Amino acid sequence: MLERVTRLSEYEWEVPVGTVPGMRVPGRFFLSDSLYKSLESGAVQQLANVATLPGIIRHSMGMPDIHWGYGFPIGGVAAFDHETGVISPGGVGFDINCGVRLLSTPLTLGDLEHRRELIETLYKTIPTGVGAKGPVKLSIGDLEDMMVKGAAWPVNQGYGLPADLDHCEERGCMAQAESHAVSAKAKQRGMPQSGTLGAGNHFLEIQVVKEIYDPDVAKAFGIHPGQICVMIHCGSRGLGHQTCTDHLKVLEGATKRYNIVLPDRQLACAPLSSPEGKAYFGAMAASANYAWANRQMIMHTTRTVFEKMYGIDYESMHLVYDVAHNVAKMEEHSNEGKRIAVCVHRKGATRAFGPGSPDLPAGYAKTGQPVIIPGSMGSSSYLLRGTTTAMERTFGSTCHGAGRILSRSAAKKTINGAKIKNSLSREGIIVRAPNDAAIAEEAPGAYKPSAEVVRIVDALGISNLVARLEPLGVIKG
Amino acid sequence: MSYEELDHTADIRLRVRSPSAESLFAETALAMMKIVYGESRPGEEARTIELGAGNTENLLLDFLSEVLFLSEVENLVFSTANVHITGNSLTALLTGEPFDPERHRGGTEIKGISYSGLRIFKEDEGYVLDILFDV
**Backbone phi, psi, residue B67, to 5°:** -60, -45
**pLDDT level of residue A317 (50, 70, 90 thresholds):** very high
Q: Among residues A233, A318, A325, A400, which one is catalytic?
A: A400
* DSSP labels, A400-415: -S--B-S-HHHHHHH-
B1 pLDDT more than 80: no
For chain A, percent of residues with pLDDT exceeding 90: 84
Tens of pLDDT, residue by residue over B79-133, are: 999 999 999 999 999 999 999 999 998 888 999 999 988 999 999 889 999 999 9
What count of CB pairs under 8 Å joins A to B? 109
Neighbours of A210 (CB within 10 A): 16
What's the rounded Cα separation, in Å, for the pair B74 and B98?
8
Amino acid (1-letter code) at residue B107? G
| A248 in contact with chain B, both atoms CB, cutoff 8 A | yes
A257 contacts: CB under 8 Å, gap ≥ 6: none
| B124 in contact with chain A, both atoms CB, cutoff 8 A | no
| A85 in contact with chain B, both atoms CB, cutoff 8 A | no
Q: How far apart are the first and last CA of chain A?
A: 36
What's the confidence (pLDDT) of residue A438? 78
What's the rounded Cα separation, in Å, for the pair B111 and A237?
8
Neighbours of B89 (CB within 10 A): 12
- The alpha-helical segments, DSSP class H, found in A17-135 are 33-36, 41-50, 115-125
Beta strands in A293-437 (DSSP E): 318-324, 326-335, 338-347, 350-351, 370-373, 381-386, 397-398, 430-432
User: Which residues are paired to A61 by β-bridges?
Assistant: A28, A77
Parallel, antiparallel, or unpaired for β A27-30 and A56-70? parallel
What's the rounded Cα separation, in Å, for the pair A392 and A354?
10
Tens of pLDDT, residue by residue over A38-66, are: 999 999 999 999 999 999 999 999 999 99
CB contact under 8 A, A404 and B107: no
Q: How far is Cα of residue A370 from the mean position of the Cα atoms in its chain?
A: 13
Parallel, antiparallel, or unpaired for β A72-81 and B112-123? unpaired
The ipTM estimated for the assembled molecules is: 0.95
Q: What is the helix (H) or strand (E) element at residue A437, kind and residue range?
A: helix A436-441
Tens of pLDDT, residue by residue over A273-301, are: 999 999 999 999 999 999 999 999 999 99
Length of chain A: 477
Among partner residues A68, A199, A405, which is closest to B109 by beta-carbon distance? A199
Q: Which residues of B touch A129 (CB under 8 A)?
A: 101, 105
Whole-angstrom Cα Rg for chain A? 21
A360 pLDDT more than 70: yes
**pLDDT level of residue A449 (50, 70, 90 thresholds):** confident
Judge contact between A57 and A342, C-beta under 8 A.
yes
Q: How far is Cα of residue B82 from the mean position of the Cα atoms in its chain?
A: 11
Q: Which residues of B touch A94 (CB under 8 A)?
A: 111-112, 134
The candidate with the shortest Cα–Cα distance to A473, out of A206, A210, A227, A114, is A206
> Minimal Cα–Cα distance from B20 to chain A, Å?
25
Task: Give the three-state DSSP class for B8.
Answer: coil
Among partner residues B5, B58, B114, which is closest to A266 by beta-carbon distance? B114
For chain B, percent of residues with pLDDT exceeding 70: 99
CB contact under 8 A, A185 and B69: yes
Q: Which residues of A50-89 are buried (b: 16+ CB within 10 A; e: fewer)?
A: bbbbbbbbbbbbbbbbbbbbbbbbbbbbbbbbbeebbbbb
A403 pLDDT more than 80: no
User: Which residues are paired to A341 by β-bridges?
Assistant: A332
What's the rounded Cα separation, in Å, for the pair A88 and A252?
10
| B51 in contact with chain A, both atoms CB, cutoff 8 A | no
What's the confidence (pLDDT) of residue A338? 95
On the 0-12 / 13-18 / 19+ scale of CB atoms within 10 A, A444 is middle
Active site residue A400: yes
Q: Which residues of B touch A69 (CB under 8 A)?
A: 10-11
CB contact under 8 A, B116 and A95: no
Higher pLDDT, A136 or A301: A301
Higher pLDDT, A412 or A15: A15
CB contact under 8 A, A407 and B118: no
A5 pLDDT more than 80: yes
Q: What is the helix (H) or strand (E) element at residue A464, kind and residue range?
A: strand A463-476
What are the CA-CA distances from residue A257 to residues A269, A383, B55, B56 (Å)?
11, 44, 17, 20
What's the rounded Cα separation, in Å, for the pair A260 and A256?
6
Q: Which residues of B touch A249 (CB under 8 A)?
A: 58, 61-62
| A93 in contact with chain B, both atoms CB, cutoff 8 A | yes
| B65 in contact with chain A, both atoms CB, cutoff 8 A | yes
User: Which residues are paired to A81 by β-bridges?
Assistant: A342
* DSSP labels, A249-298: HHHHHHHHHTT---SSGGG--EETTSHHHHHHHHHHHHHHHHHHHHHHHH
> Minimal Cα–Cα distance from A70 to chain B, Å?
6
Q: Which residues of A touch B113 (CB under 8 A)?
A: 245
Which residue of chain B has the CA closest to A265? B115
What's the rounded Cα separation, in Å, for the pair B94 and B69?
13
**pLDDT level of residue A132 (50, 70, 90 thresholds):** confident
User: Which residues are paired to A393 by β-bridges?
Assistant: none
CB contact under 8 A, B62 and A249: yes
**Backbone phi, psi, residue B39, to 5°:** -75, 150
On the 0-12 / 13-18 / 19+ scale of CB atoms within 10 A, B124 is exposed
Which sign, positive or negative, has the C-alpha torsion A207, A208, A214, A220? Answer: positive
CB contact under 8 A, B75 and A131: yes
What's the rounded Cα separation, in Å, for the pair A181 and A183?
6
Judge contact between A149 and A155, C-beta under 8 A.
no
What's the rounded Cα separation, in Å, for the pair A186 and B18?
32
